[in-house]
Amino acid sequence: MKTQVAIVGAGPAGLLLSHLLRLQGIDSVVVETRSREYCENRIRAGVLEQGTVDTLVESGLGARMQREGLVHHGIELLFERRRHRIDMTHLTGGRSITVYSQHEVVRDLIAAAIDHEQPVLFDVANVLLHDIRSDQPYVELVHRGERIRIDCDYIAGCDGFHGVSRASIPADVLRTYERVYPYAWLGILADATPSADELVYAHHERGFALFSMRSPSVTRLYLQCRPDENLAEWSDGRIWAELHTRFENDEGWTPNEGSITQKSVTPMRSFVAEPMQYGRLFLAGDAAHIVPPTGAKGMNLAVADVRTLSRALAARYRDGRVDLLEGYSTTCLERVWRAEHFSYFMTNMLHPSPDETSFVNRLKMSELKYVTTSNAAAQSLAENYVGLPFAEAG
């Protein structure tokens, strides 16, 4: 096979990149080790920044999201038994977020690929990247028992934290930065009508809790827990009791209970790899960076990456320009580190930790009070939460 861009990974980053390249008249092939069914049903959070929503709509991918997504104009911070609303739309000149699950975005992207006959190979194995420093890189893989070679001009590594792409960059070239947090999230899905219209972030002495939703009939909830938490010790009754405790407030609001259909423990980690390019290989999404879920930045950063990469590749093929490709890593990392800091800020402020001194935990409470009483602090939180405008290059 021969194509202009070989894309490794059929998550939101890889599939969206393929779609954006098609709109620019650039050929691509997407390869994925997982099955289509796995990709379409892998449940992940879905808080979309304004810029992500705009990108999907502008590229013709937003119809179902606009019908079924839940537009939120604010969030609530709950602490010391009081709810404090951050009016994001007012503070950011009209910007908002949309709750629309990641697997729904993936389904829309796969449907678009099928409609436009974009080649996506699922269930591949033994993926190897070759000659990425040359002007003739290629990807080798096995698909349906057949060994396939894909010759290309460029390779986009969109295959996640454990994929082959980042591992193909020599260790002496790559610099990595990481923080592992001393707590995790126990998350559940419940068949219960959401009892609030917006997300509620709760800071409680027993630990953080988050109220969210997946649809008008499904509630998503999280509890701060240990990274080595044993799910078998968490009965449905214990989960609901702990949620009600951490969401205690003077207004009597509480999440609706319902049948719990899913339980999982999510570790908390921050990670960045630099540079995000090596030769003809360009990393995007989780292959290059991980953020804790508190700031809701993971998929949004992936969208920002491939938006930048698609425009750089378009300039290369349309105008013969290579400056945007050469500056890809620098451009992306500016946004990545801003998102990393915001996610760190939100995570640190909202999670009390038994490993920290009472002094540090009191500082966290002071920060919460500041962002809910200072217009400037609230505006900073809101601007970062809805997503900063894209820095368009060239």
Catalytic-labelled residue, pool 137, 293, 328, 364:
293
Asked if residues 331 and 391 have their Cβ atoms less than 8 Å apart, the reply is yes
Spatial distance between the Cα atoms of 135 and 364, rounded to a whole number of angstroms: 51
385 catalytic? Reply is yes
Catalytic-labelled residue, pool 19, 204, 289, 297:
297
SS3 label, residue 218? strand
The DSSP line for 283-337 is: E-GGGTEE--GGG--HHHHHHHHHHHHHHHHHHHHHH---HHHHTHHHHHHHHHH
293 catalytic? Reply is yes
194 catalytic? Reply is no
Catalytic-labelled residue, pool 138, 154, 328, 385:
385
103 catalytic? Reply is no
Q: Within its chain, how far is the Cα of 115 from the centroid?
A: 25
**Which parts of the chain are beta strand (E)?**
5-8, 28-31, 47-48, 70-72, 74-79, 82-87, 97-99, 120-121, 124-130, 138-143, 146-151, 154-157, 175-191, 200-203, 209-215, 218-225, 259-274, 277-278, 281-283, 289-290
204 catalytic? Reply is no
Catalytic-labelled residue, pool 201, 222, 278, 328:
201
Mutual angle of helices 358-371 and 328-350, in 10-degree steps: 110
Give the CA distances from residue 322 to residues 21, 66, 137, 270, 316, in Å, rounded to whole numbers and listed in that order.
16, 36, 17, 31, 5
Catalytic-labelled residue, pool 12, 19, 72, 100:
72
What are the structure tokens assigned to 281, written together? Answer: 């290989």
Residues that are catalytic? 72, 201, 293, 297, 385
